[in-house]
Amino acid sequence: MNDMHNIDALPDSARRVARLLQERGHSRPVVMLPETGKTSAEAAAGLGCSVAQIAKSILFRRRADDAPVLVIASGSNRVDEAKVAARVGALARADAKFVREKTGYAIGGVCPIGHATEPVTLIDEDLLSLDSLWAAAGHPHAVFNLTPRELVALTGAPVADVALREPA
Protein backbone atom coordinates (compact mmCIF):
# COMPACT_ATOMS: atom_id res chain seq x y z
CA MET A 1 0.00 0.00 0.00
CA ASN A 2 1.53 3.31 -1.07
CA ASP A 3 0.82 6.37 1.02
CA MET A 4 0.71 9.14 -1.57
CA HIS A 5 1.60 12.37 0.18
CA ASN A 6 2.92 13.49 -3.22
CA ILE A 7 -0.34 14.28 -4.97
CA ASP A 8 1.44 14.80 -8.32
CA ALA A 9 2.45 11.11 -8.36
CA LEU A 10 -1.21 10.00 -8.36
CA PRO A 11 -3.11 9.06 -11.55
CA ASP A 12 -5.12 12.03 -12.93
CA SER A 13 -8.54 11.02 -11.56
CA ALA A 14 -7.12 10.21 -8.10
CA ARG A 15 -5.16 13.49 -8.10
CA ARG A 16 -8.41 15.35 -8.76
CA VAL A 17 -10.02 13.62 -5.74
CA ALA A 18 -6.97 14.28 -3.52
CA ARG A 19 -7.11 18.00 -4.36
CA LEU A 20 -10.86 18.12 -3.77
CA LEU A 21 -10.42 16.43 -0.37
CA GLN A 22 -7.68 18.93 0.55
CA GLU A 23 -9.91 21.85 -0.48
CA ARG A 24 -12.64 20.49 1.80
CA GLY A 25 -10.23 20.23 4.73
CA HIS A 26 -9.85 16.44 4.70
CA SER A 27 -6.38 15.76 6.11
CA ARG A 28 -5.83 12.08 5.27
CA PRO A 29 -4.09 11.20 1.99
CA VAL A 30 -5.28 9.22 -1.00
CA VAL A 31 -3.66 5.78 -0.84
CA MET A 32 -2.80 3.62 -3.84
CA LEU A 33 -3.41 -0.12 -3.42
CA PRO A 34 -0.95 -2.46 -5.16
CA GLU A 35 -3.92 -4.56 -6.29
CA THR A 36 -7.20 -3.26 -7.63
CA GLY A 37 -9.88 -2.32 -5.12
CA LYS A 38 -12.57 -3.03 -7.70
CA THR A 39 -14.51 -5.29 -5.35
CA SER A 40 -15.08 -4.61 -1.66
CA ALA A 41 -13.35 -7.89 -0.77
CA GLU A 42 -10.24 -6.98 -2.81
CA ALA A 43 -10.08 -3.51 -1.29
CA ALA A 44 -10.54 -4.85 2.25
CA ALA A 45 -7.81 -7.46 1.73
CA GLY A 46 -5.42 -4.79 0.45
CA LEU A 47 -6.19 -2.47 3.37
CA GLY A 48 -6.36 -5.08 6.11
CA CYS A 49 -9.84 -3.96 7.15
CA SER A 50 -13.24 -5.64 7.20
CA VAL A 51 -15.38 -5.74 4.05
CA ALA A 52 -18.06 -3.79 5.98
CA GLN A 53 -15.62 -0.82 6.25
CA ILE A 54 -15.48 -0.39 2.48
CA ALA A 55 -17.86 2.43 1.54
CA LYS A 56 -18.74 1.32 -1.98
CA SER A 57 -20.29 3.78 -4.39
CA ILE A 58 -23.01 2.25 -6.54
CA LEU A 59 -24.61 4.32 -9.26
CA PHE A 60 -28.12 3.87 -10.63
CA ARG A 61 -30.05 5.83 -13.24
CA ARG A 62 -33.39 7.34 -12.22
CA ARG A 63 -35.95 6.37 -14.87
CA ALA A 64 -38.00 9.57 -14.71
CA ASP A 65 -35.21 12.00 -15.65
CA ASP A 66 -31.99 10.00 -16.17
CA ALA A 67 -30.52 11.61 -13.02
CA PRO A 68 -27.62 9.71 -11.45
CA VAL A 69 -28.51 8.13 -8.10
CA LEU A 70 -25.51 7.30 -5.92
CA VAL A 71 -25.82 4.85 -3.05
CA ILE A 72 -22.81 4.71 -0.73
CA ALA A 73 -23.16 1.30 0.90
CA SER A 74 -21.22 -0.86 3.30
CA GLY A 75 -19.09 -3.34 1.36
CA SER A 76 -20.80 -6.22 3.16
CA ASN A 77 -24.30 -5.14 2.08
CA ARG A 78 -26.23 -5.63 -1.12
CA VAL A 79 -28.33 -2.61 -2.02
CA ASP A 80 -32.10 -3.11 -1.90
CA GLU A 81 -33.16 -1.29 -5.06
CA ALA A 82 -36.80 -1.23 -3.93
CA LYS A 83 -35.84 0.70 -0.76
CA VAL A 84 -33.80 3.18 -2.80
CA ALA A 85 -36.57 3.56 -5.41
CA ALA A 86 -39.11 4.23 -2.63
CA ARG A 87 -37.02 7.28 -1.64
CA VAL A 88 -35.90 8.64 -5.03
CA GLY A 89 -38.13 7.15 -7.74
CA ALA A 90 -37.94 4.16 -10.08
CA LEU A 91 -34.41 3.04 -10.94
CA ALA A 92 -32.69 1.57 -13.96
CA ARG A 93 -29.23 0.08 -14.35
CA ALA A 94 -26.36 2.44 -15.05
CA ASP A 95 -23.97 1.06 -17.66
CA ALA A 96 -20.25 1.88 -17.76
CA LYS A 97 -20.79 4.75 -20.23
CA PHE A 98 -23.46 6.35 -17.99
CA VAL A 99 -21.23 5.94 -14.91
CA ARG A 100 -18.23 7.55 -16.65
CA GLU A 101 -20.37 10.36 -18.15
CA LYS A 102 -22.23 11.27 -14.93
CA THR A 103 -19.43 10.78 -12.39
CA GLY A 104 -16.25 11.38 -14.36
CA TYR A 105 -14.90 8.11 -12.90
CA ALA A 106 -14.58 4.55 -14.16
CA ILE A 107 -16.54 1.75 -12.46
CA GLY A 108 -14.44 0.54 -9.53
CA GLY A 109 -13.12 4.01 -8.85
CA VAL A 110 -16.33 6.00 -8.26
CA CYS A 111 -15.68 8.40 -5.41
CA PRO A 112 -18.44 9.67 -3.07
CA ILE A 113 -17.66 13.28 -4.15
CA GLY A 114 -16.52 15.34 -7.13
CA HIS A 115 -18.96 14.09 -9.76
CA ALA A 116 -19.40 15.58 -13.24
CA THR A 117 -23.18 15.68 -12.58
CA GLU A 118 -24.25 16.08 -8.94
CA PRO A 119 -26.04 12.82 -8.06
CA VAL A 120 -29.00 12.17 -5.80
CA THR A 121 -27.10 10.47 -2.96
CA LEU A 122 -28.06 8.14 -0.11
CA ILE A 123 -25.71 6.78 2.57
CA ASP A 124 -26.21 3.28 4.00
CA GLU A 125 -27.15 3.65 7.67
CA ASP A 126 -25.03 0.56 8.49
CA LEU A 127 -21.88 2.61 7.78
CA LEU A 128 -22.63 4.86 10.75
CA SER A 129 -21.96 2.07 13.26
CA LEU A 130 -18.32 1.80 12.13
CA ASP A 131 -15.33 3.81 13.37
CA SER A 132 -13.42 4.00 10.11
CA LEU A 133 -14.31 3.70 6.42
CA TRP A 134 -12.40 3.47 3.15
CA ALA A 135 -13.87 4.89 -0.07
CA ALA A 136 -12.72 4.89 -3.69
CA ALA A 137 -10.73 7.95 -4.71
CA GLY A 138 -11.44 8.21 -8.42
CA HIS A 139 -9.34 5.25 -9.61
CA PRO A 140 -9.68 1.45 -9.16
CA HIS A 141 -6.44 1.38 -7.09
CA ALA A 142 -7.03 4.62 -5.14
CA VAL A 143 -8.79 4.88 -1.77
CA PHE A 144 -9.03 7.29 1.13
CA ASN A 145 -9.85 6.84 4.80
CA LEU A 146 -12.62 8.73 6.57
CA THR A 147 -15.14 8.42 9.39
CA PRO A 148 -18.88 7.96 8.77
CA ARG A 149 -19.44 11.52 10.09
CA GLU A 150 -16.92 12.85 7.55
CA LEU A 151 -18.68 10.94 4.76
CA VAL A 152 -22.00 12.57 5.68
CA ALA A 153 -20.33 16.01 5.92
CA LEU A 154 -18.46 15.64 2.59
CA THR A 155 -21.53 14.48 0.65
CA GLY A 156 -24.31 16.32 2.50
CA ALA A 157 -26.35 13.17 1.80
CA PRO A 158 -29.11 11.70 3.95
CA VAL A 159 -28.55 8.43 5.78
CA ALA A 160 -31.07 5.73 4.88
CA ASP A 161 -31.88 2.07 5.23
CA VAL A 162 -30.75 0.82 1.82
CA ALA A 163 -29.48 -2.68 2.62
CA LEU A 164 -31.14 -5.83 1.38
CA ARG A 165 -32.13 -7.75 4.52
CA GLU A 166 -32.69 -11.46 4.13
CA PRO A 167 -35.93 -12.59 5.81
CA ALA A 168 -35.15 -14.40 9.09
Count how many Cα atoms sit within 13 Å of the Cα of residue 105 in the half-sphere of its side chain.
31
Number of domains in the chain: 1
Whether residue 167 lies inside any domain: the answer is no
Whether residue 107 lies inside any domain: the answer is yes
Whether residue 165 lies inside any domain: the answer is no
What average pLDDT does the segment 137-152 reach? 96
Whether residue 166 lies inside any domain: the answer is no
Residue 156: pLDDT over 80: yes
What average pLDDT does the segment 78-89 reach? 97
Whether residue 148 lies inside any domain: the answer is yes
Residue-wise pLDDT for 38-78, tens only, equals 789 988 999 999 999 999 999 999 999 999 999 999 999 99
- Single pTM value for the model: 0.93
Beta strands in the chain (DSSP E): 2-3, 30-32, 54-62, 68-74, 91-93, 120-124, 133-136, 142-146, 159-160
Whether residue 152 lies inside any domain: the answer is yes
Count how many Cα atoms sit within 13 Å of the Cα of residue 24 in the half-sphere of its side chain.
19
Q: What does the pLDDT read at residue 109? A: 92
Distance CA 81, CA 78 (A): 9
Residue 98: pLDDT over 60: yes
Q: What does the pLDDT read at residue 4? A: 45
Q: What does the pLDDT read at residue 19? A: 96
How far from each other are the two terminal CA atoms of the chain, in whole angstroms? Answer: 39
Q: What average pLDDT does the chain have?
A: 93
Residue 149: pLDDT over 90: yes
